[in-house]
Amino acid sequence: MSELPSADARQQDPRDVVVVGAGIAGLSAAALLARAGLAVELLEAHHQSGGCAGTFRRGPYTFDVGATQVAGLEPGGSHARLFRHLGVPLPAATPLDPACVVHLDDGGEPVHVWRDPQRWQAERQRHFPGSEPFWRLCTALHRANWRFAAGDPVLPPRSPGDLARTLRALGPANLASALLAASTVADLLALCGCGGDRRLRRFLDLQLRLYSQEPADRTAALYGATVLAVAQEPLGLWHLQGSMQALSGQLELALQLAGGRLRLRHRLSGLRRTASGLWELTVNRGGQSPSSTLLARDVVLAIPPQALPDLLGDGLPQGYRRRLQGLADPSGALVLYGAVPRPALPAAVPNHLQFNGTSPGSLFVSVSEEGDGRAPAGQATVIASVFTPARPWFALEASAYDAAKAEALRAIQAGLERGLGLPREAWLHAELATPRGFARWTSRPFGFVGGLGQRPRNFGPFGLASRTPLRGLWLCGDAIYPGEGTAGVSLSALTASRQLLASRGLSLELEP
Ligand SMILES: Cc1cc2nc3c(=O)[nH]c(=O)nc-3n(C[C@H](O)[C@H](O)[C@H](O)COP(=O)(O)OP(=O)(O)OC[C@H]3O[C@@H](n4cnc5c(N)ncnc54)[C@H](O)[C@@H]3O)c2cc1C
């Protein structure tokens, strides 16, 4: 392989920083770096930004593609801190209360995850008597985690600077909770004498899968303790007015105000380091060939790390390649995008519900609000997602794929008709995305959604670092600490941006 830049790249001045992927992670990183004074170019393969937190229109409906609720908008929350630093207002949003109504399919009342901590405590005591020791332990762990996170630690640390920052963030409570670093949420249940409460276990399995892709016996205890507290004040979950695209829209604005450039329909197809230490990026524009190349001093990849082996080829150190190729497959998702007349829904239907089930799996359901910009007056959009192993969808030939897709669509519709009491004829619109659709939309390998799955072996200190072994190449996104969700990926963008700036002798500090 030649060490010289291509003729195409030799003619250009190198870019200061190129960020690849305009999901929430890439937009946040690009805006932060541009705000810090660097010349930033953000490349996005799709015709719009947002990635898994984007939207699409179908006739009169606007559908959120993946993410449907947002954390981190409260004062001091990760989006709030970044937006304040970037000088743009947060998108208009209303707090979710209840954040979710969880149907356990056991003949009992559904569990309402209320926003008010006291109301939530009374609700869980009613549903899961005797479980308070477990919730108290979770609260203590969550408080310790939160104080630690407020110090913007770098996990896993990969340089003396990272380590110093992480050590500064540590408090005595973190040293105590470190004893549970290898434990799961199911271990916490057993520790608190609640291991036999099957109803509580089912509830936790359902809720934890939303945030960690894993049930209680595989979710890291320290991660689980925090996500179980995310719906209550002073934190909370929010419903965005208009659509999820409002979040990426504001970040695009921040990037533009800071002088950065977003280039849509620009797909990175290759990456290599030149002899002079610059990065040469091969880029396909809008499906045009031949591809062009550009040079950059630093590259931030805000795309899944599973894409690196193909992008870097032989340029990836063997040990790092083995690490990436050894990552367990994340889940794929089947998502139904539907619309119904509002009167067909139960009165006062909440924005988010979960239905426990086996075929095609447990459903997470998001219902639009009247006047929230997603459906015409008197109608509602209904989005339902279920996890599915991603790879098998790619092995199906055309007719088998069509049949499997039609069957999954019908099964999800049937689950919604049962759960919401919808008549079959209520559907005004219904379509399904499979992992193949997600792969096309987000360019994520095999349409994998979410990060790495928050098992103890992937979480925090044991996870993948934003600092790669290759100088000038940084990672952020939902495979990097603290993990998936728009609030999580914006923190990973902050870490990667801070590290990049520190490598140039610059600092990036946000108000706490
Ligand atoms: C069904 C579903 C439901 C979810 N629900 C929620 C929720 O309610 N709340 C929540 O907070 N989170 C939710 N999430 C998770 C959340 O959406 C993601 O964790 C987060 O949006 C990921 O952001 P990201 O920037 O890391 O990656 P992505 O959103 O995947 O963005 C990556 C971007 O990079 C682009 N790209 C990829 N490859 C290339 C390339 N080679 N060249 C150029 N561009 C490229 C893609 O087009 C994409 O725009 C959900 C996800 C899914 C799929």
**How far apart are the CA of 152 and the centre of ligand 1, in A?**
22
Q: Does residue 81 contact residue 152 with C-beta atoms inside 8 Å?
A: no
CA-nearest residue for atom 12, ligand 1, is 485
Ligand 1 contacts CB of residue 426 (under 6 A): no
Residue 70 burial (CB count, 10 A): 25
Q: Whose CA is nearest to atom 15 of ligand 1?
A: 485
Distance (Å, whole) CA 342 – CA 368: 10
Q: How far is the CA of 434 from the centre of ligand 1 (A)?
A: 15
Which is the closest atom of ligand 1 to the Cα of 366? 8
Residue 9: its pLDDT value, please?
A: 52
For the segment 280-294, what is each residue's pLDDT rounded down to a tens digit?
999 999 866 678 999
Contact 379, 341 (CB under 8 A): yes
Q: Which of 52, 263, 481 to mutate to test the pocket of ligand 1 (most atoms within 8 A of CB)?
A: 52
* 41 CB near ligand 1 (under 6 Å): no
Give the distance (Å) from ligand 1 centre to CA of residue 416: 25
489 lines ligand 1 (CB under 6 A): yes
Task: Name the phi and psi angles at 55, rounded to 5.
Answer: -140, 165
For ligand 1, mutation pick of 73, 239, 247, 303 (most atoms within 8 Å of CB): 303
Distances (CA, A) of 500 to 36, 81, 140, 299, 496: 11, 19, 34, 9, 6
Q: Is 303 in the pocket of ligand 1 (CB under 6 A)?
A: yes
Using CA of residue 320, residue 322, residue 328, residue 332, what is the dihedral sign? positive
* pLDDT less than 70: residues of the chain: 1-12, 287-289
How high is the pLDDT of residue 3? Answer: 45
- pLDDT, position 1: 36
Distance CA 438, CA 457 (A): 26
Q: Whose CA is nearest to atom 50 of ligand 1?
A: 67
- 222, HSE (Cβ side, Cα atoms, 13 Å): 26
Q: Is 22 in the pocket of ligand 1 (CB under 6 A)?
A: yes
Distance CA 106, CA 510 (A): 47
Residue type, 175: L
CA distances from 198 to 15, 79, 127, 129, 419 (A): 56, 36, 11, 12, 21
Indicate whether residue 335 lines ligand 1 (CB < 6 A). Answer: yes
| Cβ–ligand 1 contact at 473 (below 6 Å) | no
Q: How is the chain split into domains, by residue range?
A: 7-53+70-91+240-328+451-503, 97-235, 332-447
Give the residue whose CA is nearest to atom 11 of ligand 1: 485
Report CA(398)–ligand 1 centroid distance (Å): 26
Q: How many A from CA of 5 to the centre of ligand 1?
A: 31
Residue nearest to atom 10 of ligand 1 (CA): 485
Q: Which atom of ligand 1 is nearest to the CA of 52?
A: 29
User: Ligand 1: does its nearest atom lie under 6 Å from the Cβ of 478?
Assistant: yes
Distance between Cα 448 and ligand 1 center (Å): 10
> Is the CB of residue 388 below 6 angstroms from any atom belonging to ligand 1?
no
- Which ligand 1 atom is nearest residue 492's CA? 26
Index of the ligand 1 atom closest to the CA of residue 333? 1
455: CA distance to ligand 1 center in Å? 20
In the reported structure, the alpha carbon of residue 76 is separated from the centroid of ligand 1 by a whole-number distance in angstroms of: 23
Q: Spell out the CATH class of 7-53+70-91+240-328+451-503.
A: alpha beta
